[in-house]
Amino acid sequence: MTEFLVYRAGVILAAVALDRLLGEPRWLPHPIRMIGFLIRTGEKLRVLPLPLKLSGTLMAAGVVALTGVSVWGLLYFTYQSLWWGLAVETLLVYLTIAPRGLADEALAVDSRLRRDDLPGARARLAMIVGRDTGSLDEQEVRRAAVETVSENTVDGVFCPLFYTVLFGAMGAWMYKAVSTLDSMVGYRNERYRQFGWAGARLDDAAAFIPARLALLLIPAAAKAAGLSARQAWRVGWRDRLAHSSPNAGHGEALYAGALGVRLGGRSSYGGVVSEKPYLGGEFAPPGPETIRQSVALLWWATWLLAISAAVLLSAIGLAGLQMG
């Protein structure tokens, strides 16, 4: 079955190409909605006479397992015809990544800033960040946009493609289930601190290797984008663990170094102020070109990962065919 590694290489390249050409298909009901439905339904387990951490763990395990089984069943059925199977798997992987959507939204914020439309920039920014945007000044809007691009390079591109390499579309969608669990119930508030514990910890574990893979690929992408690979590596390695999350700081620190800007600082979430450590603290805050540079870095990193993964899978698959 080593030929399927070669096919998987093609699936990854085709999925990234589809995203680059089409972006997020807003007309198509996204499967993430089904995962969200499963999570909302699973919250009913809170009423069971069990510790909340245990009932939340059962819910998280059920959501991830149902997602994996559903994708496996769909692929098993469609792979009765090789070309139908490859087409469906490509579509499924394409739906797990979103560099085009992220890039478009970041550039929409940038466009409004260039037109001196700060209220419009804040409104567009609110569509892609969780922080309060209503009182941000121009500099803070740029910082928030760059931070979300950097964080989602890992969460929205590296992670799903990493699990595609290992397990195909099933792996990518099981990761998306974990990520959605974290985004819906992984909060450290009174309601979810116990019940959402498993979802948050699963997300930390799932992103652990891809976040560290970024230490190799983002400096190389920075070099290709005409940015500083040396600074990306230096600041990324130095500041990656300053963030409260074990993984989120990797992408942000690498981008801070590559772009030569200071990220982090004060942010507000639902009226609650959070003081984040500075990443790239020796640099100035993001300037007028920083959002566009971050989008260029996003695309170089995406293609570098996709091509590297395709080459690796093809090499292993072809070597296996020769040995067979």
Is residue 227 pLDDT above 80, yes or no? yes
Per-residue model confidence (pLDDT) at position 272 = 80
- pLDDT digit string (tens) for 94-103? 999 999 999 9
Tokens of 181: 């669990």
Choice among 11-15, 143-147, 186-190, 280-284 with the minimum mean pLDDT: 186-190
Secondary structure element (H or E) that encloses residue 282, with its range: none
Better-scored residue on pLDDT, 272 or 64: 64
- Rounded to whole angstroms, the Cα distance separating 284 from 243 reads 19
- Identify the band that residue 324 occupies on the pLDDT scale cut at 50, 70 and 90: low
- pTM score over 0.85: yes
Torsion of CA 155, 161, 164, 166, to 10 degrees: -90
Per-residue model confidence (pLDDT) at position 1 = 65
Average pLDDT over residues 117-125: 96
Partnered with residue 269 across adjacent β-strands are 272
Residues 6+ apart with CB under 8 A from 273: 266, 267
Q: Dihedral sign for Cα 92, 21, 156, 106, please.
A: negative
Partnered with residue 261 across adjacent β-strands are 284
- Rounded to whole angstroms, the Cα distance separating 225 from 204 reads 29
Per-residue model confidence (pLDDT) at position 101 = 94
Better-scored residue on pLDDT, 129 or 321: 129
- Identify the band that residue 245 occupies on the pLDDT scale cut at 50, 70 and 90: confident
- pLDDT digit string (tens) for 4-13? 899 999 999 9
Per-residue model confidence (pLDDT) at position 55 = 93
Residue 23's φ and ψ, nearest 5 degrees, are 70, -160
Look over the chain and give the mean of its residue pLDDT values, rounded to a whole number: 93
Share of the chain above pLDDT 70, in %: 98
- pLDDT digit string (tens) for 152-183? 999 999 999 999 999 999 999 999 999 999 98
User: How many Å separate Cα 134 from the centre of its chain?
Assistant: 25
Residue entry with tokens 């089984």: 69
